[in-house]
Amino acid sequence: MKKIAIDPITRLEGHGKILLYLDEGGGLKGAVLQVPELRGFEAFCRGRRGEEMPQITERICGVCPEAHHLASAKALDAAYGAEVPPAAWIQRELFYNCYIFADHLLHLVFLGGPDLLLPAEAPKGSRNVLGVLQAYPELGREVVAVRARAQRVLEIIGGRAIHPVFALPGGVARAVTPEEAEEIRGHTAAMVALAEKFVPFFHEEVLPDPGYQGLLASPGAHLPTHYLGLVDETGAPHFCRGKVRAVSSAGKELFLLEGAAAMERIAERVEPWTYVKFPYLKDLGWSGFAAGPESGIYRVGPLARLNVAERMATPLAQEEYERFLDFFGEKPVHATFAYHWARLVEMVQAAEAADALAKNKQLTGTEIRGKLGRPGEGVGVVEAARGTLFHRYALDERGLVQDLDLIVATTHNAAGIGLSVKQMAEDVVRKGALDEALLNRIEMAFRAYDPCLACATHFLPGEMPLVVEVYDPEGSLVRRIAR
């Protein structure tokens, strides 16, 4: 009898696919990530009312609808020339910091947790989130409880438990009541308390581990790309406001621009073997799948944001950032597995920033919607947990979408992920292991970026819907590996 596995919302429309190309000697010539594209999305959106876009775009991603929702609202702010009132910005920023906190916590403890928190020799059957919970029961229960608190703030401000509906062009839908503000302050205080506890835990339980130390120091995971991310006026990372800053692999500023101007500095490389376009810095040009000063390839996400920043925005995060830089002794930090540590630094900033915003008297302000001008073109940029997210809309005089363009985090990182996979897989392939060991090595590199394929598929974060295909020098498929 045929067995059918039913797992809601893991419907398979296509896999994230890694293509490995072998050379004549059986070594690894190249590796690329193939991400399924959003076929027909632009055509579907043309002619829709601009105001619908925050709801339409958040439904394309089951992993970070918060990021699409706010990037979309920001693009509409710009398209309508709207001035967003301070009280509305406080709501948006508070909401967004809670999203970053909850997402990073999920990755650090439960998705990346089996790599970071469990010994490599742990039995395969316990290398999962329950294994993490059994190994660290008190911390695990607290993480679950505090994540629920962050989710509750998202529900209060976002208007719904799992899909926000609050951000509108020019502001937000409703004011936060004093009672809600009081409840929120209790939740954000708990977030800070957990962040304070998690930092020493990381330094005692994770960082000293020889396995993690080896990954951080590994030349095979050192990738000197350029970096891109949002910073505020003081040069600290900001998750949903500020300017886009790009720095070179040597740490030199390449540009510091508003979203629309920054988007003009990014070009997209089209390859014949994939629908995915590979973004690169236009001024440096495309010189193939290679890192280094001559290449236009850049990376986004937690590590990139720390590399483009001059400082962190909050005190505890600043302390951890300094420990992070001291450890590596260089900036930019090019160690791919530093993405995990960078996620911790950002989680701390998100908790502290959310708490400060929750205490801001303007949180309950009632002037929450700015006046809209005539519709035109606008770009909205936010930092999704996984990296920079651009939305660009061109509206006609009736406010209908005429043209749009989205660049999502995993697309920015697609070339970098391919290069990291190649680095991690090289040794294994040379030894002729085209099996589970290869898949494990590739997954480790893949997972450091916390890539999200859900904008194109319905895969869940961390589910590793990964297929690896190995091709010989003639281009023939010699092996296909999948979980």
Partner 1 sequence: MSGGLRARLVVALGNPDRGDDGVGPAVVRALGPQPGVEVWEAVRGGLPLAEALVGYERALVVDACPALPVGEVALVPLFDGRSVPAGERWLHGLGLAQGLALLAAAGRPVPATWALAIGVPTDLPFRRGLSPKVARAVPHAVAEVKRWLAN
Tell me the closest approach of the beta carbon of residue 103 to partner 1, in angstroms.
Answer: 9
Nearest to partner 1 of 62, 399 (CB atom): 62
Tell me the closest approach of the beta carbon of residue 83 to partner 1, in angstroms.
Answer: 31
Nearest to partner 1 of 434, 460 (CB atom): 460
Distance of CA 339 to the CA centre of its chain: 10
Residues that bind partner 1 (CB under 8 A): 4-13, 38-41, 43-44, 56, 58-63, 65, 106, 110-112, 114-115, 124, 127-130, 133, 140-141, 144-145, 147-149, 151-152, 161-163, 443, 447, 458, 460-464, 483
Q: What is the 3-class SS of the chain, one letter each residue?
A: CCCCCCCCCCCCCCCEEEEEEECCCCCEEEEEEECCCCCCHHHHHCCCEHHHHHHHHHCCCCCCHHHHHHHHHHHHHHHCCCCCCHHHHHHHHHHHHHHHHHHHHHHHHHHCHHHHCCCCCCCHHHCCHHHHHHHCHHHHHHHHHHHHHHHHHHHHHHCCCCCCCCEECCEECCCCCHHHHHHHHHHHHHHHHHHHHHHHHHHHHHCCCHHHHHHHHCHHHECCCEEEEEECCCCCECCCCCEEEEECCCCCEEEEECHHHHHHCEEEEECCCCCCEEEEECCCCCCCCCCCCCCCCEECCHHHHHHHCCCCCCHHHHHHHHHHHHHHCCCCCCECCHHHHHHHHHHHHHHHHHHHHHCCHHHHCCCCECCCCCCCEEEEEEEECCEEEEEEEEECCCCEEEEEEEECHHHHCHHHHHHHHHHHHHHHHHCCCCCHHHHHHHHHHHHHCCCCCCCCCCCCCCCCCEEEEEECCCCCEEEEEEC
Please report, for residues 48, 281, 318, 387, the alpha-carbon distance to residue 302 in angstroms, rounded to integers and kept in the order given: 34, 19, 14, 7
Beta bridge partners of 469: 19, 480
Q: Angle at Cα 313 formed by Cα 312 and Cα 319, nearest 5°? A: 50
Tell me the closest approach of the beta carbon of residue 114 to partner 1, in angstroms.
Answer: 6
Tell me the closest approach of the beta carbon of residue 24 to partner 1, in angstroms.
Answer: 35
